[in-house]
Amino acid sequence: MESGDLTDRRFVRYRHRLIEDIRATGVDDLEILHLFDRVPRHLFLPEAQWPRAYEDAPIPIGHGQTASQPSLQALYLDVLKLAPTDRVLEIGTGSGFLTALLALTAERVYSVERIRPLSRRARRVLDGLGIQNAALFVGDGSIGWRRFAPYDVIIVSAASPSTPGGLVEQLADGGRMLVPIGTQEAQELVLVRRAGDRTSEERVLDRVSFVPLLGLQGWSEDEAQV
Ligand code: SAH
């Protein structure tokens, strides 16, 4: 990874403070914490948001969408225990920051976003960082990305009304999926595991708040309250 912006003095201190904030939420895996030092979050956000880029908070990225809270993304990585051989499907590229964290951890990341300008922007930033093992796609990710299935890990970064069945089908044997399930106001973060033809579900967090998953297996645009 090219590191020009990593040495930007204005941000190094903030980045280290963010890592302390993440550690305080209970994630103490050093490899995961180190990822937040390796990937400059500000580059993934609109420049007007750079002063807030290293707050442990969701940040608006335009088009009514938000980049997720870093400590939540750290929890994702902690729960999923990615292996370097894992192939990952991400639904909702958004800023592309989580895409970068995943690409540095897994073998390959396939990331779907329905808003083209967000996907384009994420592509540019990932390219600028020299990240080459992430494939981005514009379309409805609620039905997955069948062409490259099955996936060891699926991360749904938008709120779903129920477990998206099409995505479960694209999980490999032994695969796991994190998905926020609930209403458009509040969701539970659910871990779905697949073993053979059987799936199990476990609640990881009681209350999270994601932007809605819009699409065939999510909400229709008319139903969306955004
Ligand atoms: N992990 C991202 C989260 C972005 S917010 C980040 O931290 O930046 C969730 C994203 O999901 C939004 O960009 C939204 O446009 C996208 N999204 C919603 N429904 C989708 C769908 N059906 N397919 C693909 N992307 C979708």
Alpha carbon of 118 to ligand 1 centroid (Å): 9
Render 41-59 in DSSP notation, one character per residue.
Answer: GGGGS-GGGGGGTTSSS-E
Note the pLDDT tens digit of each residue in 98-117.
Answer: 999 999 999 999 999 999 99
The answer to whether the Cα torsion of 225, 71, 164, 90 is positive or negative is positive
- Going by pLDDT thresholds of 50, 70 and 90, the confidence category of residue 222 is confident
Note the pLDDT tens digit of each residue in 208-221.
Answer: 999 999 999 999 98
Query: If DSSP codes are grouped into helix, strand and coil, which group holds residue 12?
Result: helix
Q: Is the pLDDT of residue 226 over 70?
A: no
Note the pLDDT tens digit of each residue in 129-172.
Answer: 999 999 999 999 999 999 999 999 999 999 999 999 999 999 99
Alpha carbon of 111 to ligand 1 centroid (Å): 10
State pTM to two decimals. 0.95
- Going by pLDDT thresholds of 50, 70 and 90, the confidence category of residue 7 is low
Query: Within 10 Å of residue 45's Cβ, how many Cβ atoms?
Result: 21
- For the chain, the first-to-last Cα distance in angstroms comes to 36
Mutation choice for ligand 1 from 39, 76, 93, CB with most ligand atoms inside 8 A: 93
Alpha carbon of 226 to ligand 1 centroid (Å): 13
Cβ–ligand 1 contact at 180 (below 6 Å): no
In angstroms, the CA 37 to CA 48 distance is: 21
